């Protein structure tokens, strides 16, 4: 079969393969770590904009009912409705 050219300072194709394998593993680890870091940053940035305040009686809210069939251009939200009571207390 075809012979494998080795880089300078490497005695055999086996050493070249092992070296390449180590470099690829390092690169993969670095990519995975960078992906986790980027995901954490995106989550933090998104969460910073979320300020959910619990609804209180008297608040006006809009209702989205995805089970109701709608035409393309029909409004997706109904309301406003007035909150009557908090259920989570």
Asked whether the beta carbons of 76 and 70 are under 8 A apart, the reply is yes
Tokens of 4: 């494998």
The boundaries of the domain holding residue 62 are 53-89
Helix, strand, or coil here: 16? helix
**pLDDT value of position 54:** 84
**Based on the domain organization, do 5 and 29 belong to the same domain?**
yes
For the segment 31-50, what is each residue's pLDDT rounded down to a tens digit? 999 999 999 999 998 888 77
**Based on the domain organization, do 44 and 81 belong to the same domain?**
no
Tokens of 86: 């908090």
For the segment 41-89, what is each residue's pLDDT rounded down to a tens digit? 999 988 887 777 888 899 999 988 777 766 777 778 888 999 999 887 5
Sign of the torsion angle spanned by Cα atoms 60, 64, 69, 73: positive
**Based on the domain organization, do 43 and 60 belong to the same domain?**
no
**Based on the domain organization, do 46 and 6 belong to the same domain?**
yes
Total-model pTM: 0.43
Residue 3's pLDDT band (cuts 50, 70, 90): low
Q: Report how far residue 16's alpha carbon sits from residue 20's, in angstroms, rounded to the nearest whole number.
A: 6
């Amino acid at each position: 079969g075809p012979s494998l050219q080795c880089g300078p300072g490497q005695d055999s194709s086996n050493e070249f393969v092992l070296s390449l394998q180590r470099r690829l593993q390092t690169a993969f680890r670095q990519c995975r770590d960078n992906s986790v870091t980027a995901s954490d940053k995106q989550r933090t940035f998104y969460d910073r904009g979320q300020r959910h305040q619990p609804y209180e009686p008297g608040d006006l809210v809009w209702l989205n009912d995805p089970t109701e069939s709608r035409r393309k251009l029909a409004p997706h939200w109904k309301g406003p409705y007035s909150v009557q009571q908090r259920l989570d207390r």
